[in-house]
Structure 1
Amino acid sequence: MTSADGGTRMVGAAAEGSASATAQWYRLRGRRKTGIIVGLVVLLVAVSLVDFLLGGGSMPARDVLATVMHPAQSRPIDHEIVFDIRLPMTVTAVLVGGALAAAGSQMQTILGNPLAEPYTLGVSAAAGFGAALATVSGFTATDIGAALGMAGTAWLFAMLACGIILLFSRFRGPGAETMILLGIAIVFFFDALLALMQYLASETQLEQVVFWTMGSLTRATWPQIALLSVVTVAGLVFFYRNAWSLTAFRMGDDRARALGVHVDAMRTVTLLVVSFIAATAVAMAGTIGFIGLVGPHVARMIVGEDQRYFLTTSAIAGSLLLVGASAVSKIIQPGVILPVGIITAIVGVPVYVLIITSKRGTLWAS
């Protein structure tokens, strides 16, 4: 064997060793991220149990658990409190928090903007105006309005905001800058219309509108919960199936195209799916801020940008934030459940400041 052959074999062995070490490093990193996700799920279950046991009344925790374990033997009033009030609130918090954070994570991904969330494209503002219009105009008193309700009308206007963006994007191309600028314009437009509705509303109507815009988990029904579950799961399946393409967006549009991603088509379809999820969540719970913004940033800090882990962690983080806020809203003033949107804003601001001033040094740290 010549020295050249020996050198070649040594180089080959070194390359194989390096590849093996790299593969092992990726496996260990994947296990660590999976462990983080499992830990977050356990924490979410614990916090959800606390929120469920707190409830909005004075029903002792042992009676709540007894009603859950033996529903047929419980008193009718206890059964109603547990299964028609407390449990729907906790389940709604988990679903809405996860839906808003998942929507925010994909908005940030396709738009390349760390401040993107359902508010950015006017989804929440349009939904707020829709709910106010249904109340102030008396639309809910009509047959169609009674069938839709405030939630249904809010959903229609939230999707209208998405439709406006998609329509205008067809003329200038579905670029991130175009969508963001249109979203900002839509936010201001519908906020102005919402202020007009509040000005024209009677005292009773104004109270309903303001309460809705503060965000609340008390209005959800089991059919609405089932609808949000289907919409959210369908959206997550779409995101997971296109995880590689969505991850490529983080390298910029040009590099994503070079990797074979149909950037414009993927951005448009993803925006539509995100709008469906966000509109359904906002229509159920009202305007709840910071969940769609903070949840993805928390996920990005602990698992990075890989959509296989990032999307799951974002949804769990959003659920944790909203369930935690729901629990806090029940203990600040005993016997009174504060609008959860107030709590998320108060808690969300310092959390967000902590994120952007952390050692990572950047909103896009991975």
Structure 2
Amino acid sequence: MEALAAEVPVALVYRRAAMRRWVVAGLALLVMLVSVVLDVATGPAFLPVSDVARALMGHPVDTSVQAIVWSIRLPVALTALVVGASLGLSGAVMQTILNNPLASSYTLGISAGAGFGAALAIVLGVALPVPETFAIPANAMLFAGLACTAVYLIGGARAATAEALVLAGIALLFLFQALTSLLQLMASPEALQQVVFWLFGSLQKSTWTKLWILVSSLLLCVPFLANDVWQLTALKLGDARAAALGVRVRALRIRSFAWVSVLTGVAVAFVGTIGFIGLVAPHMARMLVGEDQRAFLPVSALAGGALLSLASVVSKTASPGALLPIGIVTSLIGVPFFIGLVMRSRKGYW
């Protein structure tokens, strides 16, 4: 009887925690939906939110409103959601496998690798043999994958410990930034403008075709990451304890890096360098649902999508008549958060 009495509160606590996670996920999804409507409603041609909602639901509206919503703004709004979700998910995975709260595809050089690949195609015309429309995205995707591979190979020289991988990523970040700066010095004024615009990040060239590629890459990675949620949760206990529980730590890190490479490479290939979403979204999820990867990974993706969608709204409304590059907006959000993490780490937060 005593054992039964002791089990009841534990079961009750677990049910409450599970319910809290569902509530948080539902609220994050609601924020995403609201932000999409706001994103579609904002722009140079102001559209009433009611007309936007009617157009999205398929109700009859003015032809011009229908064209603006479905042909121009909706692909941009949905791209913001998918890219944000991809970056938030990749950041959550990287912070887990490296056990480092400052880890993300942006801070560890993967996005910088993509930027160098794009600059290489723009300035020197060195790109994969693909249709011209996809030459720059394909090059960015390739170099994001190469950067991710290089991080693991360099870190692997020291048995692929989390610390070695972080140091390798930081080194590659500075390397790719230096190489990109060198290409900018060599570029013509027209090419330089194109490189700078790409590095700022922009959602405005989004199309339905690009959106389906982004969605496909996200849907490809999600089942494999979902299959590893238990092992990723065990990894938070430390490499030794995870191995004692039967987790093949090295193989898990290799798989995770592969999926991070796909998520980041495809995301930044079409919209340019988007900073700090992969850093901020996982921390928001961690504060709301904790470290259990079953909730942490999906909420990180939802938080990333909501953040980038709201940043898209801010980029179109912060300066009337002008459109701020989305990468600038996310950096303005992320830099203070990054500094706050560093300051809290000095107080023993980690």
**TM-score normalised according to structure 2 size:** 0.92
Find the structure with the greater CA-based Rg. Answer: 1
Q: Secondary structure at the match of 1:121?
A: coil
Instruction: Report the Cα distance in structure 2 between the residues aligned to 1:351 and 1:172, rounded to whole angstroms.
Output: 31
Shift of 1:177: 2.2
Structure 1 equivalent of residue 106 of structure 2: 119
Contact kept, 8 Å, 1:139 with 1:145, in 2: the verdict is no
Instruction: Report the Cα distance in structure 2 between the residues aligned to 1:188 and 1:270, rounded to whole angstroms.
Output: 23
The one of 195, 199, 209 equivalent to 2:181 is 195
1:173-206 superposed Cα distances (whole Å, 9 cap, x missing partner): 3322222222112111111110011111111111
1:25-72 superposed Cα distances (whole Å, 9 cap, x missing partner): 111111112111111211221122111111343344455445445588
Contact kept, 8 Å, 2:92 with 2:282, in 1: the verdict is yes
Contact kept, 8 Å, 1:40 with 1:317, in 2: the verdict is yes
Of all paired residues, the percent bearing the same amino acid is 43
Q: Report the AA paired with residue 12 of structure 2.
A: Q
Relative distance call for 1:57 and 1:73 in structure 2 (3 A) is closer
Structure 2 equivalent of residue 89 of structure 1: 76
The one of 8, 14, 17 equivalent to 1:29 is 17
Pair 1:52 & 2:40 matched: yes
Contact kept, 8 Å, 1:95 with 1:319, in 2: the verdict is yes
Count of aligned pairs:
349
What is the RMSD of the two structures over their aligned residues, measured on CA atoms? 2.3
Instruction: Report the Cα distance in structure 2 between the residues aligned to 1:122 and 1:196, rounded to whole angstroms.
Output: 17
After TM superposition, list the pairs within 5 Å mapping 1:145-294 onto structure 2: 146=132, 148-294=134-280
Q: Secondary structure at the match of 2:261?
A: helix
Instruction: Report the Cα distance in structure 2 between the residues aligned to 1:58 and 1:31, rounded to whole angstroms.
Output: 39
Contact kept, 8 Å, 2:286 with 2:296, in 1: the verdict is yes
Relative distance call for 1:355 and 1:188 in structure 2 (3 A) is closer
Structure 2 equivalent of residue 346 of structure 1: 332
Instruction: Report the Cα distance in structure 1 between the residues aligned to 2:299 and 2:206, rounded to whole angstroms.
Output: 25
Q: Secondary structure at the match of 2:236?
A: helix
Return structure 1 stretches of 4+ with deviation > 6 angstroms: 355-358
Instruction: Report the Cα distance in structure 1 between the residues aligned to 2:58 and 2:257, rounded to whole angstroms.
Output: 44
Instruction: Report the Cα distance in structure 2 between the residues aligned to 1:28 and 1:68, rounded to whole angstroms.
Output: 36
Relative distance call for 1:215 and 1:146 in structure 2 (3 A) is same
Structure 2 equivalent of residue 5 of structure 1: none
Structure 1 equivalent of residue 298 of structure 2: 312
1:269-311 superposed Cα distances (whole Å, 9 cap, x missing partner): 1111111101111112111111000100111111100011111
Q: Report the AA paired with residue 229 of structure 1.
A: V
Shift of 1:227: 1.4
More off after superposition, 35-44 vs 122-131? 35-44
Contact kept, 8 Å, 2:229 with 2:294, in 1: the verdict is yes
Structure 2 equivalent of residue 128 of structure 1: 115
Relative distance call for 1:147 and 1:69 in structure 2 (3 A) is closer
Instruction: Report the Cα distance in structure 1 between the residues aligned to 2:319 and 2:149, rounded to whole angstroms.
Output: 41
Relative distance call for 1:205 and 1:230 in structure 2 (3 A) is same
Contact kept, 8 Å, 1:57 with 1:335, in 2: the verdict is no
Q: Secondary structure at the match of 2:204?
A: coil
More off after superposition, 180-189 vs 343-352? 343-352
**TM-score normalised according to structure 1 size:** 0.88
Q: Report the AA paired with residue 310 of structure 1.
A: F
Structure 1: gaps of 5 or more residues = 1-12
Relative distance call for 1:349 and 1:310 in structure 2 (3 A) is same
